[in-house]
């Protein structure tokens, strides 16, 4: 094993020790550190073989924790996962599975319930506009937003 491959593998282990990462995130990190493409690809293959890199596991965990902890909707999660370099068909499958168990409308209701006490003194139209904006930023569809706010 070459010295560059050892160094790349050690760096990748350290990078993955903080949290799960996508294959593209790991590849980008190694490239940014100056490793050649062949070394990066070999390192990624080694990590996959050792089960340190698994895009499906990463996507499931990322989507579930972001939906539960930050109450993000489907659109926001899709954009984040695309940004992590995951395949669109994998993203669709993960999000469909997630939102079978976690209802998106319940997440939106929780966001509104948490925010509404602070907005009690506002004019009803202004409150609605602010809640619409908040729910849009959190990634909820227009359909869900208006179901929740009506």
Contact 44, 61 (CB under 8 A): no
Please, which pLDDT band fits residue 102 given cuts at 50, 70 and 90? confident
**CA 105, CA 125: separation in Å to the nearest integer?**
21
- The confidence band for 110, taking pLDDT boundaries of 50, 70 and 90, is very high
Among candidate residues 141, 150, 149, the one with its CA nearest the CA of residue 76: 141
Regarding pTM above 0.85, the answer is yes
Decide if pLDDT at 1 tops 70.
no
Q: CA triplet 32, 34, 40: central angle to 5 degrees?
A: 85
Inter-CA distances, 101 with 48, 52, 72, 113, Å: 29, 27, 15, 21
């Amino acid at each position: 094993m070459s010295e560059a491959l050892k160094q790349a593998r050690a760096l990748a282990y350290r990078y993955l020790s903080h949290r799960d990462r996508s294959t593209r995130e790991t590849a980008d990190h190694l490239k940014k550190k100056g490793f050649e493409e062949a070394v990066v690809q070999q390192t990624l293959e080694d990590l996959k073989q050792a089960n340190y890199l698994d895009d499906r596991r990463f996507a499931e965990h990322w989507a579930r924790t972001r939906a539960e902890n930050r109450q993000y909707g489907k659109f926001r999660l899709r954009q984040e996962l695309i940004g992590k370099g995951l395949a669109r068909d994998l993203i669709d499958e993960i999000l469909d599975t997630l939102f079978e168990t976690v209802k998106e409308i319940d997440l939106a209701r929780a966001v509104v319930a948490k925010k509404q006490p602070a907005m009690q003194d506002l004019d009803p139209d202004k409150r609605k506009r602010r809640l619409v904006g908040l729910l849009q930023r959190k990634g909820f569809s227009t359909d869900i937003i208006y179901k929740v706010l009506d």
